Chain A
Amino acid sequence: MSGYVSRYAPRPGTIEPMGEHGQTVFAEATEPVSIELRRIAQTFGQNRVLRGIDLDVPAGQFLAIVGKSGCGKSTLLRLLVGLDRPTSGSLRFADRSGDTVEANARIVFQEPRLLPWARVVDNVAVGLGQDVDENTARVKALMVLDDVQLSDKADQWPARLSGGQRQRVALARALVSRPGLLVFDEPLGALDALTRITMQQLVSRVWRELGFTAVLVTHDVSEAVHLADRVIVLDGGKVALDLEIPADHPRHHGDPDLAVFERRLLDAILGGH
């Protein structure tokens, strides 16, 4: 799927904790989109946050974006999902055959942003938009809830869930409409270390199963290296480093080969230019 030839042999005998849930619930896979950014600049008053970003993301790639706090990662994501318009530059989405398309883009934020007054299944159904009839919406929502292993919480109020469970609901809500592009803004930043690892495996698994294009912003370099095909470092409003991570998915924590990439990324972020 990633399109890279792996230099690493698959490791036999490793157990993926999500594996017992291996059967794919998703009948229809998504049509991933490729992204083409040209000279994207974003300015807030005197603050030139993005200063000419050129970036091509192939359809189905998992791209991670890292960088210092305030370097404009969220700003870039908001442009990708159409929440803001760039000051200048162009942005284009295309399908596999290269035709320009509307990206069915979804975003998962650090905070789950669930409606507290809607039950879990109804929160997921929000992801289907307004034109779907209630029964269909419920059936689809329940299917996706099953895939994030929250079927038993379908009729709970969000207030009754743990932080990790809420974030899984938010993920289900983003997935239910089969997005061509799924964008994450530090989605696991507020979770404890163990929940983070489970969530990373979940994100990786749904990406592999559904095949959408993924863009993940994270402040955790090891998370970026663990999940992504490619990591870019944003600095000074530009792409300071563009690094491919040619390892097979799923990947495993503590892999020494990945540690090399982590060190290079950390150097790029912290060590100046």
Chain B
Amino acid sequence: MTAYDVVTDRPSRRRSWVWPALSARHIRLKGLLPFVVPILLVLVWQVFSSAGWISTRVMPAPTDVAAAFIDQVLSGALFHNVAVSGARALAGLAVGGTIGLLLGIANGVSKLSEQLTDTSLQMLRTIPHLAMIPLVILWFGIGEESKLFLTSLGVLFPIYLNTFHGVRNVDRELIEMGRIYGMNGWTLFRKVILPGALPSIFVGLRYALGIMWLTLIVSESIAASSGIGHMANQAREFMMTDVVVLSLLIYAALGKLADVIARAMERHALSWNPVYQR
């Protein structure tokens, strides 16, 4: 990947050498650059839809999606569904994340706990949690428990693995230093082990957020009577492609939002790390 980056870097440098004036203007517009391709795509999409080259049954026009968005906002359905999905996501993250975090810490700190649970967890981890949907529906029906169970399960493993790894890899010399200065138990954990493991825990969290949304989309489409996934699935039955596409966009926006929040938390919590210092 790095080699590829280096190769693509070269032509642009050569161009700026050939057209220095143009490259100066480039620098001023640089902030807008990432938006050029999406905006162009939406424009082309709109033109194709308006000209009738794409059937609305395949793909609604961007204006139709915007109209659906306004409709859903005005009827209150959108807010309701986003709130329901968001609450499910947070509940799953809280439950699965807490269990994963506690297990990771326990197994990282205690050899006994590791021997007791790590092998079992590693075995459970190899089962794709979405494969459990039929069983989960049998257990819980399509109630809230099924979504909570699946998202918790999906979130648990990345958090567990990264917390465990993080705690295990805290610098032994720092721990020894802490002991010399009279830290033990809770103090040692709070001042040395947890901060040392935090970078790794954040990696787990951001990975878990992706799995959280994925699990929620799938389980809401299959077994739910509310939420964005349900909204999309219902729209499909009535061939309302605009609402289906709107649901996708909302998932994308929620996913992005979660990632932005997680990144901000990471930057704040790890501000001591040279990587996050500007």
* Chain A residues at the B interface, C-beta cutoff of 8 Å: 81, 83, 106-107, 109, 111, 113, 115-119, 126-127, 129-130, 157-160, 173
Q: A117-B195, A129-B181, A129-B182 are in contact. Are A109 and B173 (CB under 8 A)?
A: yes
* A6→B216 CA distance, assembly (Å): 81
Asked if residues A107 and B180 are in contact (CB atoms below 8 Å), the reply is yes
Check B91 for interface membership: any CB of A closer than 8 A. no
Supposing A130-B182, A157-B277, A159-B273 touch, asked if A113 and B195 sit within 8 A by C-beta, the answer is: no
Q: How far apart are A187's CB and chain B's nearest CB, in angstroms?
A: 14
Closest to B274 in A: A159
Contact-residue bracket for chain B: 20 to 34
B181→A113 contact, CB < 8 A: no
A107, A113, A130, A160: the one contacting B174 at CB < 8 Å is: A113
B 166-203 binary contact with A (CB < 8 Å = 1; else 0): 00000001101110111100010001100110100000
Is there a chain A Cβ closer than 8 Å to B19's Cβ? Answer: no
Q: Assess whether B191 is in contact with A115, with CB atoms less than 8 Å apart.
A: yes
| Residues of B close to A118: CB separation below 8 A | 191, 272
A115 to B277, CA, bound (A): 17
B180 and A106 contact, CB distance less than 8 A: yes
Q: Ordered nearest first, which 3 A-B pairs have the shortest CB separation?
A: A117-B195, A113-B177, A117-B272
User: Told that A115-B195, A159-B273 touch, could you supply 13 new A-B pairs with CB distance under 8 A?
Assistant: A83-B176, A111-B173, A113-B176, A115-B174, A116-B272, A117-B270, A117-B272, A126-B181, A129-B181, A130-B182, A130-B187, A159-B274, A160-B274
Selected from B176, B182, B196, B272, the residue in CB contact (under 8 A) with A159 is B272
How many angstroms from the CA of A115 to the CA of B170 in the assembled complex?
Answer: 11
Q: Roughly how many angstroms separate A83 CA and B180 CA in the complex, as a whole number? A: 7
Contacts of B270 in A (CB 8 A): 117
CB-based nearest A residue for B270: A117
Identify 7 residue pairs between A and B in the complex whose beta-carbon atoms are under 8 Å apart, listed by A's number: A109-B173, A115-B191, A126-B191, A130-B183, A158-B272, A159-B272, A160-B274
Nearest chain A CB to B170 CB, angstrom units: 11
Closest to B178 in A: A126
A106 to B180, CA, bound (A): 8
Query: In chain A, what residue has the closest Cβ to B191?
Result: A115
B134 to chain A, nearest CB (A): 46
Residues of chain B within 8 A (CB-CB) of A117 are 195-196, 198, 270, 272-273
Residues of A within 8 A of B195 (CB): 115, 117
Which A residues are in CB contact (< 8 Å) with B177?
A: 109, 113
Residues of B with C-beta under 8 A to A173: 181
- List the B side residues contacting A158 at CB < 8 Å: 272
Chain B residues with CB below 8 A from A115, complex form: 174, 191-192, 195
A125 smallest CB distance to B (angstroms): 10
Residues of chain B within 8 A of A81, CB atoms compared? 180
Q: Which residues of A contact B180 (CB under 8 A)?
A: 81, 83, 106-107
Closest to A122 in B: B191
Across the interface, which residues of A come within 8 angstroms of B182, CB to CB?
Answer: 129-130
Alpha-carbon separation in the docked complex, A117 to B274 (Å): 10
Q: Which of A81, A109, A113 has the most CB of B within 10 A?
A: A113
Known contacts A107-B180, A126-B181, A130-B187; is-contact A116 B192 (Cβ 8 Å): no
**Smallest CB–CB gap between B189 and chain A, Å?**
13
**Separation of A118 and B174 alpha carbons in the complex (Å):** 12
B272 touches A157 (CB 8 A): yes
Q: A116–B273 contact, CB under 8 A?
A: yes
Which residues of A are found within 8 Å of B272, using beta-carbon distances? 116-119, 157-159
Bound CA span A129–B187, Å: 10
Q: Which residue of B lies closest to A113 (CB)?
A: B177
